[in-house]
């Protein structure tokens, strides 16, 4: 909360289009709002208490940090905080919150859609249609199939619930192994992923990008998957070793991959992933269900009401870990 007698200043960083978040009327009633683009951020931060990163993948705060001396809270309109965090911010007292929860159900639905499209060969059938070919294919039932969900956060949990609801068998891969998890049942240790992926027909990656998850799905993990298996990566590109993935797909080590995220985004036009058989590319949109921008803005407005009233913000990011730990794992 801002010291008595001083009006709180909230900076809203907008992207190159200049589009502003709706629904900030309740914030504006109680605080000074300053909208800026990245170029104007250093000046806008002078004397500011709060920064709302509406331009959620911006790295502009890092450059403007020397001017952020009065900043006490940063909210980013994204679930992943890997592009936001830098050493000075991590070491500071500035509280960071994220868009926890907004993407849970849309990402779970996108995962189910990817699994069904793979099992029912929808993309293959579209290729046949384009070639005006009346060509029949067999499809695979997903009831009883096994899905290993790598990343036991809120998106992983929503995904587990949805996949169970359609009759799939589900396990999680988290930081620590345990049984009797309410959403996953069994959770295996993601550090030993290669020992566990052979169980799965679908390996779904929804973990935060951290030093522990960077390169987690490497050649040894891909090599241990069933040749009939399907990889879904909706989290961050660098969690999967792309060269190893291409090798596995080209040599029959893996049947397919549904990829929403990439090492370089946009995916370059000449990248082999565009044309490798079995690969389905989507442009980092798996969480973007209609209404998402409104929901992101409302979430910030609600948190701002708490902050302006001096109440604690729920679910802060653990800046050293690089994600929001589950409530039972908090200090
Ligand atoms: N493509 C898109 O459009 C899109 C949209 C939204 C989010 N995302 C990505 O999805 C990620 C997950 O989002 P979320 O909201 O579910 O995050 P979250 O709830 O903040 O994830 C935190 C959880 O991740 C688990 N985790 C941390 N390190 C792990 C590791 N080494 N191995 C396995 N699990 C680990 C932890 O579970 P345990 O405590 O059980 O270990 C922790 O509770 C985001 O970070 C973002 O990168 C992508």
Amino acid 10: pLDDT: 98
* Structure token digits, residue 36: 């800026």
Instruction: Give the dihedral of Cα atoms 241, 247, 252, 257; nearest 10 deg.
Output: 40
d(CA 212, CA 275): 30
H-type alpha helices, 77-170: 87-91, 104-119, 122-130, 154-165
Mean pLDDT of 287-302: 98
d(CA 327, CA 9): 30
Q: Whose CA is nearest to atom 7 of ligand 1?
A: 79
Equal fold, 9-102+290-329 vs 104-281: yes
Residue 122 banded pLDDT, cuts 50, 70, 90: very high
pLDDT digits (tens, 9 = 90+) for 198-247: 999 999 999 999 999 999 999 999 999 999 999 999 999 999 999 999 99
Kindly report the pTM of this predicted structure.
Answer: 0.97
Amino acid 76: pLDDT: 98
Which residues make Cβ contacts (< 8 Å) with residue 109, sequence separation at least 6? 162, 289
Residue of 153, 209, 211 with the most ligand 1 atoms within 8 Å of its CB, for mutation: 153
d(CA 214, CA 299): 29
Whether 306 has a pLDDT exceeding 80, the answer reads: yes
CB 188 near ligand 1, within 6 Å: no
Residue 165: Cβ within 10 Å count: 10
Amino acid 219: pLDDT: 98
User: Nearest Cα to 212, choosing from 181, 247, 174, 243?
Assistant: 174
Mean pLDDT of 56-73: 97
Mean of pLDDT over the chain: 97
d(CA 136, CA 11): 57
Classify domain 104-281 at the CATH superfamily level.
NAD(P)-binding Rossmann-like Domain (3.40.50.720)
Mean pLDDT of 68-72: 98
CB 287 near ligand 1, within 6 Å: yes
> What is 172-188 written as a DSSP string?
EEESS-EEEETTTEEEE
d(CA 256, CA 235): 17
Amino acid 85: pLDDT: 98
CA dist 262 → 4, 64, 282 (Å): 46, 27, 10
| The CATH fold of domain 9-102+290-329 | Rossmann fold (3.40.50)
Domain boundaries along the sequence of the chain: 9-102+290-329, 104-281
* Strands 202-205 vs 146-150: parallel, antiparallel or unpaired: parallel
Ligand 1 centroid – CA 66 distance (Å): 30
Catalytic residues: 236, 265, 284
Contact 122, 116 (CB under 8 A): yes
CB 325 near ligand 1, within 6 Å: yes
Whether 107 has a pLDDT exceeding 80, the answer reads: yes
């Amino acid at each position: 909360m801002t010291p008595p007698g001083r009006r709180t200043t909230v900076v809203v960083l907008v992207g190159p289009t200049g589009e502003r978040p709706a629904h900030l009327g309740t914030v504006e009633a109680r605080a000074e709002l300053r909208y800026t683009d990245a170029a104007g951020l250093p000046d806008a931060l002078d004397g500011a208490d709060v920064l709302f990163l509406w331009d959620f993948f911006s790295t502009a705060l890092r450059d403007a940090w020397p001017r952020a001396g009065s900043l006490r809270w940063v909210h980013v309109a994204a679930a992943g905080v890997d592009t936001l965090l830098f050493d000075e911010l991590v070491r500071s007292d500035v509280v960071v919150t994220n868009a926890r929860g907004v993407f849970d159900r849309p990402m779970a639905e996108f995962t189910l859609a990817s699994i069904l499209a793979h099992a029912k060969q929808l993309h293959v059938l579209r290729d046949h249609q384009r070639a005006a070919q009346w060509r029949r294919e067999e499809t695979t039932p997903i009831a009883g199939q096994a899905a290993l969900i790598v990343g036991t956060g809120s998106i992983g949990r929503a995904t587990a619930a949805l996949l169970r609801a359609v009759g799939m068998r589900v396990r999680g891969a988290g930081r620590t192994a345990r049984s009797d998890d309410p959403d996953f049942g069994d959770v295996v240790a993601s550090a030993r992923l290669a020992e566990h992926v052979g169980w799965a027909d679908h390996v779904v990656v929804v973990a935060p990008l951290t030093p522990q998850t960077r390169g987690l799905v490497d050649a040894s993990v891909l090599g241990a998957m069933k040749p009939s298996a399907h990889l879904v990566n909706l989290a961050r590109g660098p969690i999967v070793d792309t060269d190893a993935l291409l090798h596995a797909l080209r040599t029959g080590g893996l049947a397919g991959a549904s990829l929403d995220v990439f090492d370089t985004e946009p995916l370059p036009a000449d990248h082999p992933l565009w044309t490798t058989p079995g690969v389905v590319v989507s442009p980092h949109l798996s969480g973007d269900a209609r209404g998402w921008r409104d929901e992101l803005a409302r979430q910030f407005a609600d948190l701002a009401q708490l902050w302006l009233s001096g109440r604690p913000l729920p679910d802060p990011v653990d800046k050293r870990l690089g994600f929001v730990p589950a409530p039972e794992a908090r200090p």
